[in-house]
Amino acid sequence: MNLEEITFKVSEIARSAGSFIRNESLNFSSSKIEYKGLNDLVSYVDKEAEKRIVEGLKSLLPEAGFITEEKTLNIQGEDYNWIVDPLDGTTNFIHGLPAYSVSIALEYQGALVSGVVYEINRDECFYAWKDGGAWLNGTKIKVSENVDLSQSLLATGFPYYKFDLLEKYINVFRDLTQVCHGLRRVGSAAVDLAYVACGRYDGYFEYNLNSYDMAAGIVLVNEAGGQTFNFSGGTEYFNSREIVATNKKITDELLSVIQKYF
């Protein structure tokens, strides 16, 4: 399998879906919002974008299965599985905030081997494949060189449901706020991970995520020279539903703060 070629084709599919989403944003009405759960929003745009993505991916790798957020198609593949979030940052999209993305990853026998994150509003397509490096619109990217947490800009995601860990999260937030340049909350986990990969952030952490929120971004960070873990320092991201991504140089400092409380 030529992962580079497949990744380029996936990038085209992501861009096409992003174009659809961008056009729909011009006339989107709040009357078209649906609720999947507490503060868990969806619209016809998410569902239609996912259908388009799935159809495009089927032609690339007919034997592959699908893990999709909107469940337009969920079928387990024997070796290959696509992990798809058609619109990561739906709440931003619905409220007209310009930070949302298409996220597509390919998994082979349990290992992530390709990832694409297309940030729609800035027309930035981040992509990476196993042992091929990470790229942004044709230019190779890498994580930051910052070695000190006190000089770092971090990203996170605020809990919006399942608040049983909220106090622990607030403690981590409090401690980090006092020792770094600041924490940002963009509202799209895929974008946060892409920004770590290209050096805009030095690190990122969040919990209560699903595989489709972070799969593609994990590939980006790792191929850009960074590191990804769950809060325990392992790589069972999907089971624990946690992610810590760093430029590798601040890993120990960032994990030590998180592990004080989690």
CATH classification of the domain holding 157 = 3.40.190.80
Higher pLDDT among residues 28 and 176, named by residue: 176
> How far lies 232's CA from each of 108, 186, 242, 262, in Å?
24, 24, 9, 8
Structural domain count of the chain:
2
Give the other-Cβ count within 10 Å of 262's Cβ. Answer: 18
Residue pLDDT, tens place only, 64-117? 999 999 888 888 899 999 999 999 999 999 999 999 999 999 999 999 999 999
Would you say the C-alpha torsion 17, 120, 189, 13 has a positive or negative sign? positive
CATH number at residue 110: 3.30.540.10
Q: Which of these three, 140, 171, 195, is where a domain ends?
A: 140
Q: In this predicted structure, what is the pLDDT of residue 51?
A: 96
* Residue 70, pLDDT score: 84
- Residue 77 sits in the same domain as residue 99: yes
Of 150, 204, 144, the residue nearest 180 (C-alpha): 150
What's the sign of the alpha-carbon dihedral 14, 20, 26, 29?
negative
Answer yes or no: do 196 and 125 share one domain: no
Do 29 and 10 sit in the same domain of this protein?
A: yes
d(CA 245, CA 225): 11
| Predicted TM-score (pTM) of this structure | 0.95
By percentage, how much of the chain surpasses pLDDT 70? 97
Task: Specify the residue for token string 């000089």.
Answer: 151
Per-residue model confidence (pLDDT) at position 41? 63
- List the domain range (segments joined by +) for residue 189: 149-259
Report the pLDDT averaged over residues 211-238: 97
Q: What is the mean pLDDT of the chain?
A: 94
Claim to verify: residue 93 and residue 121 sit in the same structural domain: yes
Q: How far is CA 221 from CA 49, 80, 163, 224, in A?
A: 25, 21, 28, 5
Q: Which pLDDT belongs to residue 37?
A: 63
- Annotated binding residues for Mg(2+), as ranges? 69, 85, 87-88, 213
- What is the layout of strands, in order, in the sheet containing 227-229? 182-184, 153-156, 203-207, 242-246, 227-229
Q: Is residue 131 a contact partner of residue 219, using CB atoms and an 8 Å limit?
A: no
Q: Show Cβ contacts of residue 61 under 8 Å, excluding neighbours closer than 6 positions.
A: 6, 80, 82, 106
Is 171 in the same domain as 112? Answer: no
The answer to whether the CB of 106 falls within 8 A of the CB of 84 is no
Q: Which residue has the tokens 């007919």?
A: 62
Are residue 86 and residue 44 in the same domain, yes or no? yes
The strand pair at 182-184 and 153-156 is best described as parallel
Q: Which two tokens stand for residue 233?
A: 């320092």
For the cut 90, the answer to whether the pLDDT of residue 183 exceeds it is yes
Give me the mean pLDDT over the 33-42 stretch.
65
User: Strand 182-184 and strand 124-129: pairing?
Assistant: unpaired
Q: 129 forms bridges with which residues in the sheet?
A: 114
Summarised one tens digit per residue, pLDDT across range 227-260 is 999 999 999 999 999 999 999 999 999 999 999 9
